[in-house]
């Protein structure tokens, strides 16, 4: 199975020559002004690199996320119905969308990294993955000679070639991962794009919230205060003429003031509950549970209190989830667990309702996702038909991590492999490889301690080449393991806020 995968990837690397030729033709045409061939060519290259990422992830266990920046949003028409791109106006969104997509592909650094990988893959992939095939062929050639010396040497070369397949396959996976995985720059660029999008959505949500508050004040408390003023004016006129009617109007004014005060308290609670500011998230959620028509069980273990904006976002997200459980899920009981896991605030809300909740159908879940996304938080929902529904909120805590976490040392077999690569890689590469090669080329009779020169003539060059490749492989493995470890730490700390799109 491993040999078949190596041969398949090696053959696929050699066929990249055709795609490479196509890209050269498209590049020449684009230089001549025919830029319409650029995007189809880049699309083919991206499909090829995405296939490489999937194969290395499925066969080699090296998961590689796509590093591409998010695609541009569709063009929006102006108030007059026209579409603008820079200084040009268009009647339809076709050409503005084409210009935006062309600029997106051309300016994305991942595009040029894909092309660089495509240029090198026939050489690197073909060499690494087809080298065992060459070793087997050389071994069979030695066996064909049927001499007492070449037969065991041929068997040894064949066994070494077959045994090297898994290691060369893993080295190829590391090389592909290093070339095609997101870089720190692409991670930051995707994060900036994501934050820009979130800023726009947050501004729209805040504007809608302000309009709601204004509408509630105008239609509720403000209207009642105006009515109270008119009632008190009538009381003033009736005070001397009809004291009984004045007392009735005063009672109505007192009732109206009580209702207005209740509405104002509800409005303030909807903006930022006083219990949340005074007692914290745990007690605020418990107070919310007491007002809920459902049977709610709350478990909270926070330790250090989160920042006020984080508390507010989580509080209103839980409130929306409770509302959905009662209004749409038909639940009777709800369990809420609040705690800190791995430096992040995690909230789990489980109900015994009918399930079937889907953010695509609304139900306020989209608003919860937008509210959490402003703080790099995510909402994971598991709601099969028939229930139960489990919603998990993960939200990183500001200052919850330690700067020393960025420099986690290598452990286990990775540490041993890196130490062996850097410590012993020079031995097969330089003295047993390059120096012996120079002695062989210049015909020196000095053998010294160069092991390859003590072998029979037909075996000297294969052994020298093997030593050179072994040294390069040891250094490459050490660098690949170190880089992959650092990159994995970067991706883990960046979390879902990368905003990278394939």
The residue ranges of every structural domain in the chain are 2-69+108-181, 202-271, 280-401, 408-494
Coarse DSSP helix, strand, coil percentages of the chain, rounded to the nearest 5 percent: 70, 10, 20
Domain 202-271, CATH class in plain words = mainly alpha
pLDDT value at position 498? 43
On the question of a common fold for 202-271 and 280-401, the answer reads no
Tokens for 325? Answer: 């459980």
Q: Which of 59, 20, 243, 94 is nearest to 168 (CA)?
A: 59
Sign of CA dihedral 50, 56, 57, 63: negative
Tokens for 94? Answer: 């076709």
pLDDT value at position 128? 67
Q: Name the CATH code of domain 280-401 (choices 3.10.20.30, 3.30.565.10, 3.30.70.360, 2.30.29.30).
A: 3.30.565.10
Which alpha helices (H) appear in 425-456, and where do they start and end? 426-429, 436-441
pTM over 0.75: no
**If DSSP states are collapsed to H, E and C, what string results for 108-163?**
CHHHHHHHHHHHHHHHHHHHHHHHHHHHHHHHHHHHHHCCCCHHHHHHHHHHHHHH
Which residues of the chain are under the pLDDT cut of 50? 399-406, 495-502
pLDDT value at position 401? 40
pLDDT value at position 253? 81
pLDDT value at position 501? 42
pLDDT value at position 399? 42
Which alpha helices (H) appear in 217-332, and where do they start and end? 222-241, 243-271, 274-279, 281-291, 308-327
pLDDT value at position 400? 40
pLDDT value at position 124? 77
pLDDT value at position 500? 43
Rounded Cα distance, 226 and 474, in Å: 83
Strands (DSSP E) along 352-501, which ranges?
Answer: 378-382, 389-396
The answer to whether 131 touches 168, Cβ cutoff 8 Å, is yes
């Amino acid at each position: 199975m491993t040999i078949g995968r190596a041969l398949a990837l090696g053959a696929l690397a050699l066929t990249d020559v055709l795609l490479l030729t196509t890209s050269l033709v498209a590049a020449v045409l684009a230089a001549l002004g025919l830029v319409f061939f650029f995007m189809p060519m880049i699309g083919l290259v991206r499909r090829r690199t995405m296939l490489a990422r999937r194969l290395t992830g499925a066969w080699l266990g090296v998961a590689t996320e796509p590093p591409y920046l998010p695609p541009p949003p569709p063009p929006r028409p102006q108030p007059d119905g026209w579409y603008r791109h820079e200084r040009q106006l268009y009647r339809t969104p076709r050409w503005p969308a084409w210009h935006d997509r062309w600029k997106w592909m051309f300016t994305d650094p991942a595009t040029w990294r894909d092309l660089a990988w495509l240029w090198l893959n026939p050489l690197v992939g073909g060499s690494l993955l087809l080298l065992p095939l060459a070793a087997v062929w050389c071994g069979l050639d030695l066996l064909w000679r049927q001499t007492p010396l070449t037969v065991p040497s041929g068997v040894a070369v064949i066994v070494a070639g077959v045994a090297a397949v898994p290691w060369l396959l893993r080295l190829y996976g590391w090389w592909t991962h290093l070339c095609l995985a997101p870089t720190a720059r692409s991670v930051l660029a995707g994060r900036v794009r994501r934050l820009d999008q979130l800023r726009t959505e947050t501004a729209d949500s805040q504007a809608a919230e302000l309009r709601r508050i204004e509408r509630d004040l105008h239609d509720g408390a403000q209207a009642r205060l105006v009515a109270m003023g008119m009632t008190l004016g009538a009381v003033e006129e009736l005070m001397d003429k009809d004291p009984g009617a004045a007392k009735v109007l005063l009672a109505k004014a007192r009732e109206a003031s009580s209702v207005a005060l209740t509405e104002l308290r509800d409005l303030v609670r909807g903006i930022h509950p006083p219990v949340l500011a005074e007692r914290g998230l745990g007690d605020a959620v418990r107070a919310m549970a007491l007002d809920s028509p459902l049977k709610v069980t709350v478990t909270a273990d926070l330790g250090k209190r989160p920042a006020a904006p984080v508390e507010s976002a989580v509080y209103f997200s839980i409130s929306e989830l409770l509302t959905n459980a009662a209004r749409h899920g038909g639940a009777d009981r709800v369990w809420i667990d609040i705690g800190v896991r791995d430096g992040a605030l995690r909230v789990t809300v489980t109900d015994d309702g009918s399930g079937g909740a889907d953010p695509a159908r609304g139900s306020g879940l989209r608003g919860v996702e937008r509210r959490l996304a402003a703080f790099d938080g995510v909402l994971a929902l598991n709601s099969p038909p028939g229930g139960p529904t489990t919603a998990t909120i993960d939200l990183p805590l500001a200052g919850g991590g330690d700067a020393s976490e960025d420099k986690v040392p290598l452990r286990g077999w990775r540490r041993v492999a890196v130490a062996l690569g850097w410590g012993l890689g020079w031995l097969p590469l330089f003295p047993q490889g390059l120096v012996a090669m120079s002695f062989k080329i210049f015909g020196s009779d000095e053998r010294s301690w160069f092991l390859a020169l003590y072998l029979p003539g037909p075996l000297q060059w294969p052994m020298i080449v093997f030593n050179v490749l072994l040294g390069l492989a040891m250094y490459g493995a050490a660098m690949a393991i170190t880089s992959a470890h650092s990159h994995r730490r970067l991706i883990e700390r960046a979390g879902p806020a990368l905003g990278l799109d394939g």
